[in-house]
Amino acid sequence: MNRNVMNRNVKKSVGIAAIVAALAAGSFSLIARAEEAPREIPAPALDEPAGQRGAETVVLAGGCFWGVQGVFEHVKGVTRAVSGYAGGEAATAHYEITGRGDTGHAESVQVTFNPAEISLGHILQIYFSVAHDPTQLNRQGPDRGSQYRSAIFPASDEQAKIARAYIAQLNQARIYQAAIVTKIEPDRIFYPAESYHQDFLARNPTYPYIRINDLPKIAALKQLYPGVYRDDPVLVGDAMR
């Protein structure tokens, strides 16, 4: 394991001893759901027109990028999901620097998808219901800090409009016990993360953090959205390694 990846575990508020104990007790999925409970939510009332052609991208932040990337790599219509950083400058778009929490960056995932197969609205539906808990401010699961905030970095005014309308719709329907805190942050550049972070969930399914916090999200995706779930994830692959 890369030393930097192992160092990440030092930053987690859940200790290895507690993780191992939870695994031994077979309760890892319960821990994950207590922090980030997946739930079925209505589709957005406002969405892109159906049948559009050409690839589209949107950048989503929702806690540790390992899990967010892992979820969208299992979604049909997604052609690429890259972990990275958004919200700050190029000079600070590095894992160790971003981890300080003062760079403006959020751990993010650039999701490229085919709108003829899956709409932006459906991408956001998965994002809000499975990939993370949008009511947690500057935290997600065991991770704390603004680098783990819930944020959408839209690629266009239309994307921003759809995202804002969906947040308002979910808040008005009181889907969650608390208000959604997801920020819409336009005009931000996405910077791909280091190669050892790419496809981390797919390459390390037995890693304790992944088993506790992220594998339940994959299970929830399959359960809640079987029509778009794919068993074989679409991976970034060797291009960035």
pLDDT, tens digit, 9 for 90 and up, residues 33-59: 444 568 889 999 999 987 788 899 999
Residue 147: phi, psi to the nearest 5? -70, -10
Q: Are 50 and 122 in contact (CB under 8 A)?
A: no
Q: Does residue 159 carry a catalytic annotation?
A: no
- Mapped onto helix, strand or coil, the DSSP state of residue 171 is helix
| CA pair distance 226, 43, nearest whole angstrom | 15
| CA pair distance 87, 2, nearest whole angstrom | 26
What local confidence, expressed as pLDDT, does residue 239 receive? 52
- Mapped onto helix, strand or coil, the DSSP state of residue 6 is helix
Mean pLDDT, the chain, integer: 87
What local confidence, expressed as pLDDT, does residue 221 receive? 97
C-beta neighbour count of 102 within 10 angstroms: 13
Q: Are 194 and 94 in contact (CB under 8 A)?
A: yes
| Alpha-helical runs (H) found in 11-93 | 16-25, 28-35, 65-72
Q: Which two tokens stand for residue 214?
A: 């992220």
Burial 126-144 (b: 16+ CB within 10 A, else e): bbbbbbbbbbbeebbbbbe
CB-neighbour burial class of residue 150 (10 A; exposed 0-12, middle 13-18, buried 19+)? buried
What local confidence, expressed as pLDDT, does residue 52 receive? 80
What local confidence, expressed as pLDDT, does residue 27 receive? 40
Per-residue model confidence as pLDDT tens digits over 76-97: 999 999 999 999 999 999 999 9
- Per annotation, catalytic residue among 19, 64, 75, 234: 64
Q: Which two tokens stand for residue 158?
A: 């239309």
Q: What structural domains and CATH numbers belong to the chain?
A: 3-228 (3.30.1060.10)
* Between 27 and 177, residue with greater pLDDT: 177
Per-residue model confidence as pLDDT tens digits over 119-169: 999 999 999 999 999 999 999 999 999 999 999 999 999 999 999 999 999
Q: Are 116 and 148 in contact (CB under 8 A)?
A: no
Sequence-distant (≥ 6) Cβ neighbours of residue 15 within 8 angstroms: none
| CA pair distance 187, 59, nearest whole angstrom | 11
Q: What is the pTM of this model?
A: 0.86
